[in-house]
């Protein structure tokens, strides 16, 4: 199992409005549409959020690939009781809705996957990223591999403006 960030959230105020958690890509996942390190972070993060007073029904997880949705859902079902109300889906399914806490699992294992993740308009605005970032009422937690995401100027700017958790 890869080493992942161990979160120490002492009180509600310690959860930043926008936070970033680095999760390194495992070598054999370079061309995969799943990311186990990000799943491990989510499995550690969900109980911390609930302990801080966020009901599972107020937490949403957004990820670009259906394989990552299935892998996160399987991990939650197998390891966390009473978390079946956590919403796990693609950004398209979140349009028009919001949650108190949104966790984004970028599942970007290679810079070649940016094209699959993005939906750029004529002005260079990533519509999918914009929707994902605006679904959180209270806290937005971004999870991904900093070195890969930073290869894209939009993602680098987003990560640089977040509080590292």
- For residue 82, report the phi and psi dihedrals to the nearest 5 degrees: 65, 30
DSSP class per residue in 45-100: HHHHHHHTT--GGGEEEE-S-HHHHHHHHHHHHHH-TT-TTSEEE-HHHHTT--EE
Could you count the other beta carbons within 10 Å of the beta carbon of residue 55? Answer: 13
Strand pairing class (163-164; 18-22): parallel
Per-residue model confidence as pLDDT tens digits over 61-74: 999 999 999 999 99
- Give CA angle at 103 (99, 108), nearest 5°: 140
Domain boundaries, the chain: 17-164
Kindly state the percentage of the chain with pLDDT values over 70: 88
Q: 126: which DSSP letter?
A: B
Q: Give the confidence band of 118 by pLDDT, cuts at 50, 70, 90.
A: low
Average pLDDT, the chain: 87
Q: Is a pLDDT exceeding 50 seen at residue 10?
A: no
pLDDT of residue 123: 79
Tell me: domain 17-164, CATH 3.40.50.300, correct? yes
- Give CA angle at 129 (20, 109), nearest 5°: 60
């Amino acid at each position: 199992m890869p080493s992942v960030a161990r979160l120490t959230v002492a009180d509600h105020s310690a959860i930043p409005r926008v936070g970033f958690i680095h999760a390194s890509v495992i070598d054999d996942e370079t061309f995969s549409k799943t990311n186990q390190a990000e799943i491990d972070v989510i499995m550690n993060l969900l109980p911390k959020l609930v302990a801080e007073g966020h009901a599972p029904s107020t937490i949403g997880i957004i990820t670009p690939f259906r394989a990552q949705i299935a892998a996160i859902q399987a991990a939650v079902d197998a390891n966390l009781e009473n978390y079946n109300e956590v919403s796990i889906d693609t950004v398209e399914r979140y349009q028009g809705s919001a949650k108190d806490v949104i966790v984004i699992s970028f599942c970007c294992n290679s810079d070649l996957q940016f094209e699959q993740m993005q939906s750029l308009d004529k002005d260079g605005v990533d519509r999918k990223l914009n929707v994902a970032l605006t679904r959180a009422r209270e806290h937005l937690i971004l999870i991904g591999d900093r070195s890969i995401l930073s290869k894209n100027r939009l993602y680098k700017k987003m990560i640089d403006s977040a509080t590292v958790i």
